Structure 1
Amino acid sequence: MLLSKEAQLTQNSYYEASVDRPAASAALGGRISADVCVVGAGFAGLSAALELRAKGYSVAVIEAKTVGWGASGRNGGQAIVGYASDDAIESQFGADDARRAWNITVEAMQLIRSRIAEHAIECDFVPGFMNLAVNEKKGRELAQATIDMQKRYGYQMQPIAAADISNWIASERFHSGSFDPNSGHLHPLKYCLGLAAAARAAGIHLYENSPVVEIIRGKKPLVKTAQGEVSCDFVVLAGNVYLGAYGKAVAPELDKRIMPVGTYIIATEPMGQQRADALIRQRSAVCDTNFVLDYFRPTADHRMLFGGRVSYSAATPFNLISSMRKRMLDVFPQLSDLEVPYAWGGFVDITMNRGPDFGRIGDNMYYLQGFSGHGLALTGMAGKLVAESIAGQAERFDLLAKIKHHPFPGGKLMRTPALVLGMLYYQIKDLL
């Protein structure tokens, strides 16, 4: 069901239209051996593979489609410090552990920068991120959160007062905000393809168009596809909502811990550099503070990339381009003359508390999921932490694995309707 809904979202992606993909790697055939088998060639899986290879492990990466086909190649491109919701961290951890968890996300941005430099990845990285409030009440909440962040974590963001907001963004929609110079944005598919190229150069075996159909667990797990299998010592599951999409669920105990949520993006025609520069100071990425939020940024070729509409039922909106264009014009009515040639979407995995869900199944199978739409930066660190753990330094992985998660209520048949009803509550709150 998920894949049938996905097919209609992949046909008109600006990201795909603006890259030259290399020829796909051969599908897995026959039986091979590796120290570690990584399932999923997105940010988390490729990061884990690179870190493990650097530690001397032999690694095979198994990808059901092609590199970056899922959320890693279709997201909004915003790389942001922090978690989708800090509540999961702050409500369950003491002050010291919460700060250590926060610092992992700060390191995540450093990791992106270092990988871009080390592997010469051309992915249009631009520093700067603005978080903006749409009214006075939300502005007060954001200002207080900015102060609290400095006190708890020593992380400095620049407040943007209501009187100064017009100097930061050419929109009357926003009341006030904050600016983070450390976060930023990039072309996610270019970055993902760059990580894959670095993995191949490092001697990592990458197999595309090879959906995993079964994992036989044990001291030496066996990861099976339709035409091949990998015998290994460790498995890293980095497929998120797609792990059970190709037949029998390979890890059914994980299924109830996350939900697929559809998210959608449009990209305008190019508007020219001067016009694009005038919209957003420093060409930063932008996100509002609503629960059902809008996020947007200029691209390297001077388009406006705008995302925000979500589907908690996994059903693609019927009037996707027109509805997304209307949301964009609510922010930037001055873009009404621009055509919208690209509209696409995909599914992100969310947890009940919006905290990341990392852990182990048995002693030798790891999973990385639950990035909740905030994973461009954190996925890289997820791969680094799981590699540390496999190599015997599990402290940081275990810190995030301590986050407690509740399954979505209602089982497979009722959890989507229950979530839809729950989201209606938050949509109403956004209007207040």
Structure 2
Amino acid sequence: MNVQVSLERRQLWNRDFLLFWLGSMQSELATAVAGVAFSFLVLEKTGQVSSMGITLALSLIPSVFAPLMGAWIDRLPLKPPLVLGNVLRALLMAYVAYMAFTDQFSLYTVYAISLVNGLVDMFYTPASQSVFPTLVPASEITRATGFMGMASQGMALIGLVGGGFLVGLFGSGVAILWNSIALLLMGLLLLWVRMPARVPKATQGHILQDIREALQLVSRTPTLRFLMVLVFVAGGVFAPLELMVPKIMLEAGLGARGYGIFFGVLMGSMLLGSALVAAGILKQRPQVLMQVGLVLLSCGFGLLWFSGVLWVVYFAAVWMGLGVALASTAATVLEVEVIPEEFRGRVFSLYAALNALSMPMMLLLISSIIDHVPVQTLAVGCAFGMALLLVVQHRMLR
């Protein structure tokens, strides 16, 4: 294990946090546009919602092995892999755009690209989560989390709405090419971010020993145990949303534009929630923010019972967005409070592995029944899952 030598941060808006903040906006833009374009490219070419679900599942499966990568994250300098990860993902998206432009679509090639993209994310996501808390003073973590949420969610709002209209007006190729450019821009910004150096210890333990230490930390920390449950259940609950919304919008005759508007409303509400935290208007303890967020999420999914009424569907997106913003902000603050800096890569990788187990299993299950089961049934199941998390939080963190 390496010792991370932190850089002194005297103010929230230092150069490194600003660059990382801008880079995160680019990442959210890329993810949002890719989500719209990729989903509807597969749906248009195959005519099957199930193929879209398999594509999403393949991108998540590699994260099952994230704990092995997490041990390396806590040992290695993080800047080179973060930059190269963005470049590789940009090249993959550029090739998908090429297939769309030349009408040479291959479903199995898309499956392979989704799998490789998942392999890159296996390292990239926990590494990025490990870097963020080192870029600001400890006293500014809550506000910094709010500002990060505002930036990423604001750019995701632009990406989702813009991506939906791009797909509707110009096709998937243009939207995916935009995704590739955004990833390259993020890699460029990360080149100028100063990240804490890591000084090797005199003796290095075995990788499996490092993972065992992380598991022991989680087992003796009630907050981390709850967050593990949160990641697993929330991943399984949100997976169906990626398939439910396209089905709702196709039945309403709106297609990609309706998809973009729904997730645009959701991200706008997330942006509002993060802004309230960043401005210091919501100062409640993270446990309270978590409770409020879970209640809003449960109600939002419940409203999808009325999937035939579009204004109710969009109102559900408002509730979900606020719920996600409050719950994710609370989770980030709790993580920074209880996870020692030298354990962050491994613990975040455990989260990624749980999410990778939960979401693909649910996606594959839902993909097999989505064409035969009413959206209302799935919505009730998701609402119940969020309510269950509220009960678990009360029992584990009381």
Greater share of helix residues, 1 or 2? 2
Higher relative contact order (CA 8 A, sep 6+): 2
TM-score, normalized by length of structure 1?
0.24
TM-score, normalized by length of structure 2?
0.25
Greater share of strand residues, 1 or 2? 1
